Homo-oligomer: A and B are copies of this chain.
Amino acid sequence: MNKRQELILQIVKEGGPITGEQIADQLNLTRATLRPDLAILTMAGFLDARPRVGYFYTGKSGTQLLTENLQKLYVKDFQSIPVVVSENVSVYDAICTMFLEDVGTMFVVDHNSKLVGVLSRKDLLRASIGKQELTNIPVNIIMTRMPNITMCKKEDLLIDIAQKLIEKQIDALPIVKETENGFEVVGRITKTNITKAFLSLAKDQ
């Protein structure tokens, strides 16, 4: 941004909405001289122009404009397939499923295939150093259960899910669809998916 563009930005910030004519007056320049600068500031997103109103400051920095691209990434474009186990399965069998499927988080469902719990590697590890026989404990004893489960929808913004994962200090969320008798698990979104999204930003799409 050149010196004159910075001046214009300052003027609009303080006095906007303001016409091109008025900005030119303040700078002792002609409207024609200013036109390229105003075009650039508008094109770059710093200013917005409304007919018969004038220019106003959008309040957007370069970084904010960059982040608008992030606001276009949705859960449905980066999700993974969910791995589910029945609530009556033993902790031992759940651990085996976790290794077979190579996932870090599994979802527990009832006889109607509706979400009732979440099992993380941490939950399974905690159970496995206990004194009990792992083949005798059903997963519904050790899982995180409803209503303490953070869920999301396919249409959610990826950036909001990243926020939830960090806030709640968890690795994965179930993607659900609401039905009459509960939530159906339709997907899984993890820090791995977020890492892939981060990478996708750096690649030519």
Question: Do the beta carbons of B202 and A70 come within 8 Å of each other?
Answer: yes
Is A58 an interface position by the 8 A CB rule? no
Which of A's residues lie within 8 Å of B, judged by CB?
Answer: 35-36, 39-40, 43-44, 61, 63-64, 66-67, 69-71, 92, 95, 98-99, 102, 104, 121-122, 124-126, 128-129, 134, 159, 162-163, 165-166, 169, 171, 191-192, 194-199, 201-205
Copies of this polypeptide in the complex: 2
Whether A134 pairs with B129 at a CB distance below 8 angstroms is: yes
Question: Given B66, B128, B162, B199, which contacts A195 in the complex, CB threshold below 8 Å?
Answer: B162
Verify B166–A192 contact, CB threshold 8 A: yes
CB distance from A173 to the nearest CB of B (A): 12
Cα-based distance from A192 to B190 in the complex (angstroms): 10
Closest beta carbon of chain B to A140's beta carbon, Å: 19
Which one of A69, A165, A169, A198 has the highest number of Cβ atoms from chain B below 10 Å of its Cβ? A198
Closest-by-CB residue of B relative to A41 is: B43
- Asked, given contacts A125-B124, A199-B162, whether A204 binds B63 with beta carbons under 8 Å apart, the answer is yes
List B contacts of A121 (CB < 8 A): 104, 121-122, 125
In the assembled complex, the Cα of A11 lies from the Cα of B171 at a distance in Å of 49
Q: State whether A67 touches B129 (Cβ < 8 A).
A: no
Nearest-CB distance from A45 to chain B (Å)? Answer: 10
Interface pair A165/B195, CB less than 8 Å apart: yes
A72 CB to nearest chain B CB (Å): 11
Q: Which of B102, B166, B192, B201 contacts A66 (CB 8 A)?
A: B201
Complex alpha-carbon distance, A73 and B122, angstroms: 30
Q: Which residue of B lies closest to A63 (CB)?
A: B205
> Which residues of chain B have C-beta atoms less than 8 A from A44's C-beta?
43-44
Residue in contact with A159 in the complex, picked from B43, B128, B191, B199, CB distance below 8 Å: B199
**Contact flag A198-B159 (CB < 8 Å), given A121-B122, A128-B125:** yes
